[in-house]
Chains A and B, each alone.
Chain A
Amino acid sequence: MRRKDLVIVGNGNAACRLLDELMSRGARDRYDITVFGEERGGAYNRVLLSKVLAGEAPDSIVTKPPAWYERNGVRLVSGTSVARIDTASRAVVAADGARQRYDVAVLATGSQPLVPPLEGMTTSEGDLRPGVFVYRTMDDCVRMRGCARAGDNAIVVGGGLLGLEAAKVLSDMGLHVTVIHVAKSLMNAQLDQMGGDMLEQHIERCGIFVRTGRTVEAICGEEAVEGCRLDDGSVLPADMVVLACGVRPRVDVARASNLPINKGIVVNDTMATQVPGIYAIGECAEHRGRLYGIVTPIWEQAAVLADVLTGANPQARYRGTKLYTRLKVAGVDVTSMGSTEPELESDDVLQVVETRKSTYRKLILRDGRLLGAQFVGNTAAAATLVQLFDRNDPLPADPLEALCPGGGAGPAAQAERVVCTCHKVSEATLREAIEGGACSLEAACAATKAGTGCGSCRGEVAQLVARHAPSPEVAGGRAVAVG
Chain B
Amino acid sequence: MAPRSSLRLKIVTSETTTHTHCPYCAFQCGVVMTDRADHAGVIDVRPDDDFPVNRGQMCIKGFTSAALLDHPERLTVPKIRGRAGRLLPARWDTALDFVAERLLRLRELHGPAALAAFGSGALTNEKTYLLGKFARLALQSPNVDYNGRYCMSSAAAGQNKAFGIDRGLPFPVSDIAHTKALLLWGANCAETLPPIMQWIFAQRDNGGALIVVDPRRTDTARAAALHLQPTPGSDLALANGLLYLALEEKLIDTAYIAARTDGFDDLRRAVLSYHPAHVERLTGVSTQDQLKAVRLLAEAPSSMLLSGRGPEQQSKGADTVLSFINLMLALGKVGKPYSGYGCLTGQGNGQGGREHGQKADQLPGYRHIEDAEHRAAIARVWGIDPAELPAKGKSAYELLDALGPEGGIRALLVFGSNVAVASPNALNVERRLASLDLLVVCDAFVNETARDAHVLLPVAQFAEEEGTMTNLEGRVILRQKVRPAPPEVKTDIEIFCELARRLGAGRHFQYTSAEQVFDELRRATAGARADYSGITYDKIRRNRGVFWPCPSVEHPGTPRLFAERFHHPNGRARFHAVHHRPAAELPDDAYPFYFTTGRYKEHYNSGAQTRRVSKLEEAKPEPKVEVHPRLAARLGVVEGDSLLVESRRGAVTFRVAVVPSIRPDTLFAPFHWGGRKAANVLTVPALDPTSRMPEFKVCAVRARRVSESN
Contacts and interface: CB of A to CB of B under 8 A. Distances in A.
Interface in B614-654: 619, 628-630, 633-634
A13 B204 CA distance: 44
Contacts of B634: 394
Contacts of A382: 280, 286
B571 interface: no
Interface in A406-461: 406, 408-410, 412, 421-422, 424, 453-456, 458-460
Nearest to B221: A409
B197 interface: yes
A17 B275 CA distance: 14
B661 A409 contact: yes
Contacts of A396: 630
B628 A408 contact: yes
A5 to B, nearest CB: 25
A421 B61 CA distance: 11
Contact of B278 (A20, A24, A295): A295
Contacts of A386: 280-281, 284
B190 A456 contact: yes
Interface string B42-86: 000000000000000111101100000000000000000000000
* Chain A interface bracket (under 10, 10 to 19, 20 to 34, 35 or more): 35 or more
Contacts of B601: 421, 454
B223 A460 contact: yes
B579 A24 contact: yes
A409 B190 contact: no
Interface residues of B, number: 54
Residue in B276, B287, B289, B592 with the greatest tally of chain A CB atoms within 10 Å: B287
Contact of B664 (A393, A405, A454): A393
A380 interface: yes
A346 interface: no
Contacts of A16: 273
Given A62-B269, A421-B602, A456-B59, A328 B276 contact: yes
Contacts of A47: 275
Interface string B190-212: 10001101100100100000000
Contacts of A421: 60, 601-602, 619
A380 B288 contact: yes
Contacts of B277: 295, 324, 326, 328, 335
Nearest to A335: B277
B559 to A, nearest CB: 24
Contacts of B581: 24, 303
A379 B587 contact: no
Contacts of A459: 197, 201, 204, 223
A390 interface: yes
Contacts of A381: 286
Classify the secondary structure of A's interface with B. Answer: mixed
B482 to A, nearest CB: 21
A456 B57 contact: yes
A316 to B, nearest CB: 11
B665 interface: yes
Contacts, number: 129
Contacts of B201: 458-459
Nearest to B278: A295
B281 A296 contact: yes
A45 B269 CA distance: 9
A394 B593 CA distance: 13
A315 interface: no
A458 B56 CA distance: 14
A160 to B, nearest CB: 16
Contact of A64 (B269, B619, B660): B269
A383 interface: yes
A397 B602 CA distance: 36
B391 interface: no
A65 interface: yes
Contacts of A332: none
Interface in B267-303: 269-270, 272-273, 275-278, 280-289
Nearest to B620: A421
B284 A383 contact: yes
A424 B616 CA distance: 12
Interface in A35-72: 45, 47-48, 61-65, 68
Contact of A387 (B190, B231, B602): B231
A24 B270 CA distance: 13
Contacts of B283: 383
B167 interface: no
A391 interface: yes
Given A394-B630, A405-B286, A455 B197 contact: yes
B354 interface: no
Given A393-B665, A412-B629, A453 B63 contact: yes
A122 interface: no
B269 A387 contact: no
* Complex A-B, nearest 6 residue pairs according to Cβ-Cβ distance, in ascending order: A326-B277, A456-B194, A454-B59, A383-B280, A456-B197, A383-B286
19 contacts: A16-B273, A45-B272, A63-B272, A65-B269, A299-B278, A381-B286, A390-B281, A394-B630, A394-B634, A397-B630, A410-B660, A412-B629, A421-B619, A454-B60, A455-B57, A456-B190, A456-B195, A459-B197, A459-B223
Given A386-B284, A387-B231, 4 more contacts: A24-B579, A68-B266, A456-B57, A456-B190
